[in-house]
Amino acid sequence: MDAFETLGIARTFALNVKEVEQRFRDLSRATHPDRFADKSPAERRAAAERTVALNEAFRAVRDPMTRVLALLSAAGRPLEETARAEPALLMEIMELREAVDDARSQGRSAEALVDRVASRVADEESTLREAFDGTAFPPENSLLDRAYLAGVRLKYLYRLRDELDEI
């Protein structure tokens, strides 16, 4: 399933989530199974299947990480579950996690860490916008390769950002 096609929206990383949410609601209202209560069983089943597909598509595009996964998959380069970041990033993540643990245990502010992670996230998201927000889909191979690596990095950075949000 291509979430972007299901919702009838462009395959881009930089989405206006509020506009996509409105599009989702409009499509959901038009295809809601209750509107097909007096129709044939096949039409009711098709409406239910369309509702499920719309819900899954919206879940896929509203979150940046699942949006990355959907874009990469639609471009023919799905992010593998086992994809590992390069050793330098893994070391950086480990050091940041230790700093988070230290800040948590000592009751210190983690604001500097939040800023550092936010900067790294912004860099990777910029790469994704460059790759997917142009006119060509799928992007050329070199951009797609960079987007894939950005997706791998974001998998780790988003998780770390969520941990920082908890502090």
d(CA 141, CA 126): 17
Amino acid 154: pLDDT: 95
Mean pLDDT along residues 123-142? 90
Rounded to the nearest 10°, the torsion over CA 150, 152, 158, 160 is -120
Domain boundaries, the chain: 3-62, 87-166
Measured CA to CA, the distance from residue 102 to residue 88 in angstroms comes to 21
Range with the largest mean pLDDT of 71-75, 101-105, 134-138: 71-75
Name which residue leads in pLDDT, 131 or 101: 131
Mean pLDDT computed over 72-83: 90
Q: Taking 80 as the threshold, does the pLDDT of residue 135 lie above it?
A: no
pLDDT tens for residues 47-65? 899 999 999 999 999 999 9
CA distances, 160 to each of 30, 35, 80, 96, 165 (Å): 39, 44, 20, 8, 9
Q: Are 120 and 133 in contact (CB under 8 A)?
A: no
Q: Which CATH number fits domain 3-62: 1.20.120.1200, 1.10.287.110, 3.30.300.30, 1.20.1560.10?
A: 1.10.287.110
